[in-house]
Amino acid sequence: DWTTGNVIEEQVAAIRAQVGDRRAICGLSGGVDSAVAAALVQKAIGSQLTCVYVDHGLMRKGETEQVEKDFVAATGVQLKVVDASERFLGALAGVSDPEQKRKIIGREFIRVFEQAQLEIMREDGPEVAFLVQGTLYPDVVESGGGTGTANIKSHHNVGGLPDDIEFELVEPLRQLFKDEVRMVGQELGLPDEIVQRQPFPGPGLGIRIVGEVTKERLDLLREADAIAREELTAAGLDRDIWQCPVVLLADVRSVGVQGDGRTYGHPIVLRPVSSEDAMTADWSRLPYEVLSKISTRITNEVTDVNRVVLDVTSKPPGTIEWE
Ligand code: XMP
């Protein structure tokens, strides 16, 4: 009988058997999968688990707090937060090319995460031998089904640890589909904002700023994005759309008029899409009143934005994200 209760019970037993009295590490991304995987492992082994959250400064408004406060409150998990926003901004300075940005963000992420892992491993206590991952059933099928170990090569030399650390993987979601993961998360008492969260790319807002990524631009985009999300939620549309990237065209300016004068500001793009699996997508036919409200609020409330445009491209030919 498939019930969330049974799944949780089975996985808790399996995790206990696998980990024993050793320790495990889990990276949290703010997404559903890593959150549910961590919550399951926490339920099974409690303080033998340490979670790591790398704050790259590219998250949306409130998301880091959701992990730091709400997730910790709901699970009681031991969390190590690394504020690396300065480091990411530094590495991204002067870079506009999308692939370049993705590479830099991925590289820095691994470096910061590994550094945090090494610090955890140096703490007193039993050996840290496990890495928790939120691998889902569709990922297992796609990659041919093997389970395994993660070979983490260190870029930094932190004294007293081997250069190559081998972790055994703990993957408690390997038999589950996305909707089942959400149900398990709910049963485990995770907040709706985490369990029902729409997809969000790992490189975050870094790939939603067309042009160079700067602190000012991120702050501006965070405001515009928060308004769009707020209004979509208020209109009850969260379940109808797959996701709605909000994009800042930082390298584009257009003329506008606001209050008592001419403006020369940036456009914000709304990219609401409907999709089954993100492989293909269609642009969502959002109600005009909702679009109008979002547009009015963004241009009124976000400095330097004087235009809101709607992306009406399907995928293909457009991708969901702009970069
Ligand atoms: P595209 O833009 O390729 O996006 O149509 C398809 C889906 O994948 C998400 N996406 C990412 N997710 N890391 C992620 O974890 C990434 O680098 C990344 N790039 C795109 C995107 O939000 C959409 O749901």
Dihedrals φ, ψ of 63, to 5°? -70, -40
Q: Considering the chain, what percentage of its residues have pLDDT values greater than 70?
A: 95
Amino acid at 66: Q
Answer whether 66 contacts ligand 1 (Cβ < 6 A).
no
pLDDT band at 289 (very low <50, low <70, confident <90, very high): very high
Tell me how far the alpha carbon of residue 98 lies from the centroid of ligand 1, in angstroms.
13
H or E stretch including 90?
A: helix 85-92
pLDDT for 222-239, tens place per residue?
Answer: 999 999 999 999 999 999
Would you kindly state where each structural domain of the chain is located, as residue ranges? 4-195, 208-310
CA pair distance 34, 134, nearest whole angstrom: 5
Q: 273-274 and 261-270: which strand pairing?
A: unpaired
CA pair distance 245, 308, nearest whole angstrom: 13
Alpha helices (runs of H) in 123-173, residue ranges in sequence order: 137-142
Task: State whether CATH 3.30.70.1060 applies to domain 4-195.
Answer: no
Q: What is the pLDDT of residue 154?
A: 46
Whole-model pTM: value is 0.92
Query: Residue 143, CB half-sphere, CA atoms under 13 Å: how many?
Result: 11
Residue identifier of the C-alpha nearest atom 10 of ligand 1: 201
Question: Residue 281: left if φ>0, alpha if ψ -120 to 50, beta else—which one?
Answer: beta
Please say whether the beta carbons of 48 and 14 come within 8 A.
no
Least confident stretch, 31-40, 127-136, 161-170, 298-307: 161-170
Q: What is the CA radius of gyration of the chain?
A: 21
Residues 6+ apart with CB under 8 A from 137: 173, 174, 175, 176, 177
Q: What is the pLDDT of residue 156?
A: 42
What CATH number labels 208-310? Answer: 3.30.300.10
Residue identifier of the C-alpha nearest atom 4 of ligand 1: 320
Q: What is the pLDDT of residue 90?
A: 98
CA pair distance 170, 293, nearest whole angstrom: 45
Annotated binding site for ATP: 29-35
Residues 6+ apart with CB under 8 A from 320: 242, 243, 245, 271, 273, 275, 278, 281
Answer whether 243 contacts ligand 1 (Cβ < 6 A).
yes
Average pLDDT over residues 295-308: 98
User: Which residue of 58, 205, 321 sits with most ligand 1 atoms within 8 Å of its CB, as the best mutation to test the pocket?
Assistant: 321
Average pLDDT over residues 296-314: 98
146, pLDDT greater than 80: no
- Both tokens assigned to 131: 């890495």
265, pLDDT greater than 80: yes
Answer whether 139 contacts ligand 1 (Cβ < 6 A).
no
pLDDT for 57-94, tens place per residue?
Answer: 999 999 999 999 999 999 999 999 999 999 999 999 99
